[in-house]
Each structure stands twice: as structure tokens, then as C-alpha cells.
Amino acid sequence: MAARSAAPVVASKRPPGSEAVAPAHADAAAASFAALTHKLDYLDEADIRRIREAYKYADAAHLGQFRASGEPYITHPVAVATVLAELGLDVETLVAAILHDTIEDTPLTREELAAQFGEDVALLVDGVTKLDKLKFRDRQEAAAESFRKMLLAMSRDLRVIMIKLADRLHNMRTLGAQSREARARIARETLEIYAPIAQRLGMSLVKSELQNLGFRALHPWRHAIIEKHIRSQPVVRRESMAQVEVQLSQGLAREGLEHRLVSRIKTPLRPAR
């Protein structure tokens, strides 16, 4: 289950720089990279140059490859890097995110990536590639075994898992291009494997969005009804939340406990178990 790609590449593999790109595809790729650069204000110019270099390299490597939606494939790894930039990840992680499918889906090798971008980046890309190649006999084995192998990867470098989670998040955001069967499979996989890992890592926003998107894909009508109800009473829900926060804060203060309350409005997430 976890071994299959959520958004398969369409078209042939070509070496970097082998042919020109249609203007519309170039525009889509440039727009995705522009969205990423807007999230990089916490990095210095040298780091941003490295990210730009990685983008050009990956763009050439994925030339002629497209997602199921018809978009140039490069828009996917750039979107994955954008998710991680929003979390403030380091430059090596962002570079690896942009390159994360090159070993699996292009002629580029791990050795070439190491020579061009350093051993740290190559290790991260190789780690993500190995996770993508996990193969299982059935769903039950997939859920248990992927947890074990992902946790093992986490013990070596958490950034591998973070790239994989961002990869899954973008695939879930663009799930509509898949068949009904693929949407259901990917959504169950997301709820059973990836959302719990995000929770264990403390990536609450990523976890919540994975759950929300997974629930929507599996139960679109339930999701629509719940979402409509939630959106119809935003003021009431915010007022109720404020009252709860005040009561909790007062109770903690009376006990002399230092505290900081963090709350959020509930979204239509996964189905009850």
C-alpha cells in the first residue's frame, strides 16, 4: 500500500537539458517557484541561491514529465519545498525536497546529487526514495511495517520523514486528478499512516490538514454537511471557544499554575473510529 505513488509521473524520463519546454508549462513551473521564493525570507542570499540552483537542476531533470493533472511534474517537488519553507526548515531540507523524486523518476543518480549539492542533500533524497520503494503483501502488513521502517528512518534523520509528510500533503491537496479507487486508497493510507506520524512529530497543522483531506476524500458528503454546519456558525463557535479559554485560564490561575493556552476551531476531520 505505502509503496505506490500518490501522483504518478506521466511521460518519459529525459536527461537534464535535453529539450525545450512549452511556454504554458514553463509559466506553471515559474509560478510554483515564485510561490516558494515568497516563503524564503528567513534564509540568507547564499541559501536562496542554492535553492534556485536546485530548482533549475530538478526542472531540467523532470523535463517532459507531467502529473496526472497535466501540470509539469516540477510543480510538485517545488510545492513540497514550499510546505517545508512554511515550517521554517533548513536549506538542505528544502533543496532535498525539490530534488526528492530525481533518483526515482529521472536518470540522475545519488552520486551525481552528492557531487552537485553535497552528501547531506544526497542522503535525504536517498532516504525519501527508499521510503517510496517500500513493498507490502497486504494493508495490515503495510500499516505496521511502514510505521516501523519510517520510525527507523526518523532515528537517522527526521528531515526524511518531514519531506515525505510534505510530499503526501501536496498529493492530498491535488488528489482530484486520481481515479475514485486511487483516491480512496491514498486517503486511507494517509489517515492510517501519515497523519499519525505527523502527530507524533508535533506537526499539528500538517496532521490536521492530512486528516481533513483524507476524510473529505473518503466521505465527501459527510464532509460537505459537517463543513456547511461549521461555516454557518463561525461567530457562535468563536464565542464558545473564548468562554472556554477564559474559564480554563481562570482555573489555572487560581491554582497558581503558569500557563499558555493554545486553541483552534475544529475542522471536519476523520471519521470516528
Cα separations in angstroms, 156 against 38, 69, 109, 235: 31, 34, 21, 46
pLDDT in tens, the chain (273 residues): 444 445 544 444 443 443 445 666 678 899 999 999 999 999 999 999 999 999 999 999 999 999 988 899 999 999 999 999 999 999 999 999 999 999 999 999 999 999 999 999 999 999 999 887 766 655 665 566 666 666 666 667 889 999 999 999 999 999 988 888 999 999 988 988 888 888 888 898 999 999 999 999 988 888 788 777 777 776 666 778 888 889 999 999 999 998 888 776 665 554 433
- Which residue of the set 105, 126, 189, 209 is catalytic? 105
Distance CA 258, CA 144 (A): 39
Annotated active-site residue 145? The verdict is: no
Distance CA 126, CA 119 (A): 10
The neighbouring-strand residues paired with 66 are 10, 72
- Which residue of the set 47, 53, 104, 112 is catalytic? 104
3-state SS assignment for residue 29: helix
3-state SS assignment for residue 72: strand
Of the candidates 109, 197, 186, 190, the residue with the CA atom closest to the CA atom of residue 153 = 197
Annotated active-site residue 105? The verdict is: yes
Distance CA 124, CA 158 (A): 10
3-state SS assignment for residue 11: coil
DSSP string across 149-181 = HHHHHHHH-HHHHHHHHHHHHHHHHTGGGS-HH
The reply to whether the predicted model has a pTM over 0.85 is no
Please report the sign of the dihedral spanned by the C-alpha atoms of residue 14, residue 20, residue 25, residue 26: positive
